[in-house]
């Protein structure tokens, strides 16, 4: 009975600890807007409306009758930079941001940046469309929180405004921002204090670009290549299936490229590796289509050279296409379903190729005859 009582006591204590921890978390969340501002900000930034907006980011704001917007953005901070951008269309490119940080010497910094691209060279300090007075800007760190306080003058009254937020873990050097650690975008209603997911980013176009290319280069064309190498005994069915699948795959992949170009024109994503590989794979695909129309007859002396070119160009195209699909899933921030789905598809194809290749070499060793050309 004593051991049972001790066990019950331990369980009760553990439950009490969990309850207290949950209560502490809930209290901390509720106090995100109830906490006092640092004393240095109290004079100019008291009486602001307050709204938690993202992770532990809290936005305090007030817009007066002269369309002057007072803002205090706060979040947890140890090092690096924190920024809030005002966008005309919901995209990062073309927006202007107020960014604050504590320098390596402990001095506070807050500057406006024009976000003209996604590379450091295109994030230009002291440029942008925000109208402000530098003397009204303040950065304060207190109790592991950073507070960015600034005032902006608008020619109109803000209602629904596209907002971009981001933070980075590295301290800017010579006003050069490093790549962000995380970011978000949303529409904030300065009249009601409500934030909603920004629908301006072309998520549908990004999904179409990815889905079309995965289906074309990751499913149809590998199956077409498998038919051409391992099922030539089913003549001429293999040939018609091979040509049909590759042609349909190329058309779908071309549609994916068109979607990718449209996506790039909208967001100006700076992903040279993904774009460069895509252009190279498309070039190889076009060569394969041309090769079909320039195919010599089976008894031509040039047929072996054509076979060599067609086989290896196709293999290179499929290899680099698979690499680019993985790269695209990564840089596109796709969720786990894309990674698991394509990973499973790639694993099935690789296992099938290994098994069929083993069977093919076994058959060749028994028959000692070369495979026919096509």
The answer to whether 126 and 144 have CB atoms below 8 angstroms apart is no
Q: Judge if 39-196 and 201-368 fold alike in CATH terms.
A: no
**What are the residue ranges spanned by the domains of the chain?**
39-196, 201-368
The secondary structure element, H or E, covering residue 40 is helix 39-45
pLDDT 10s digit of each residue in the chain, 374 long? Answer: 444 344 334 333 433 333 334 334 334 443 468 778 999 998 889 889 999 988 889 999 999 999 999 999 999 999 999 999 999 877 888 899 999 999 999 999 999 999 988 788 889 999 999 998 767 799 999 989 999 999 999 999 988 899 999 999 999 999 999 888 888 888 899 988 887 766 556 778 888 999 999 999 999 999 999 999 899 888 899 999 999 999 999 999 999 999 999 888 776 666 789 999 999 999 999 999 998 888 888 888 888 899 999 999 999 999 999 999 999 988 776 778 898 999 999 999 999 999 999 988 888 777 755 555 44
Domain 201-368 has CATH 1.20.120.1770: yes
Q: Is residue 162 part of an annotated ligand binding site?
A: no
The answer to the question of whether 242 is labelled as a binding residue is yes
Per the structure block, which two tokens stand in for 74? 């706060």
Rounded Cα distance between 320 and 254, Å, is 16
DSSP sequence for 277-294: HHHHHHHHHHHHHHHHHT
Asked if residue 274 belongs to a known ligand binding site, the reply is yes
pLDDT at 23: 39
Write the class of the CATH domain 39-196: mainly beta
pLDDT for res 355: 93
Cα distance between residue 21 and residue 25, in whole Å: 6
160-168 and 131-132 strand pairing: unpaired
Q: How far apart are CA 298 and CA 304, in angstroms?
A: 9
Write down the pLDDT at residue 121. 86
Asked if residue 135 belongs to a known ligand binding site, the reply is no
This prediction's pTM: 0.53
Give the DSSP H or E segment for 247.
Answer: helix 237-267
């Amino acid at each position: 009975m004593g051991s049972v009582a001790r066990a019950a006591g331990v369980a009760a204590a553990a439950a009490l600890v969990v309850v207290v921890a949950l209560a502490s978390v809930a209290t901390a969340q509720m106090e995100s807007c109830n906490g006092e501002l640092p004393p240095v900000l109290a004079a100019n930034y008291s009486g602001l409306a307050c709204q938690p907006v993202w992770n532990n980011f809290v936005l305090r704001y007030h817009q007066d009758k002269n369309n002057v917007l007072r803002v205090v953005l706060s979040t947890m901070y140890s090092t690096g930079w924190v920024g809030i951008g005002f966008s005309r269309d919901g995209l990062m490119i073309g927006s202007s941001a107020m960014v604050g940080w504590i320098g390596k010497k402990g001095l506070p910094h807050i500057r406006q940046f024009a976000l003209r691209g996604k590379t450091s060279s295109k994030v230009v300090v002291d440029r942008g469309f925000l109208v402000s007075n530098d003397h009204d800007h303040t950065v304060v760190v207190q109790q592991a929180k950073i507070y960015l306080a600034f005032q902006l003058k608008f020619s109109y009254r803000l209602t629904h405004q596209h907002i971009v937020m981001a933070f980075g873990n590295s301290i800017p050097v010579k006003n050069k921002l490093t790549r962000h650690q995380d970011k978000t975008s949303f529409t904030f209603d300065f009249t009601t204090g409500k934030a909603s997911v920004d629908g301006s980013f072309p998520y549908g176009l990004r999904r179409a670009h990815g889905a079309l290319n995965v289906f074309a280069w990751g499913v149809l064309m590998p199956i077409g290549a498998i038919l051409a190498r391992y099922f030539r005994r089913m003549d001429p069915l293999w040939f018609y299936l091979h040509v049909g699948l590759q042609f349909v795959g190329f058309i779908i992949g071309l549609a994916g490229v068109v979607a990718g170009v449209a996506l790039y024109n909208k967001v100006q994503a700076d992903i040279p590796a993904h774009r460069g590989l895509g252009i190279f794979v498309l070039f190889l695909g076009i060569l394969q289509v041309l090769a079909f129309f320039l195919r010599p007859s089976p008894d031509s002396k040039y047929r072996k050279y054509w076979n060599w070119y067609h086989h290896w160009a196709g293999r290179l195209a499929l290899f680099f296409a698979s690499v680019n699909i993985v790269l695209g899933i990564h840089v596109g921030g796709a969720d786990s379903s894309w990674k698991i789905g394509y990973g499973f598809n790639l694993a099935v194809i690789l296992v099938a190729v290994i098994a069929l290749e083993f069977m093919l070499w076994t058959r060749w060793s028994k028959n000692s005859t070369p495979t026919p050309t096509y």
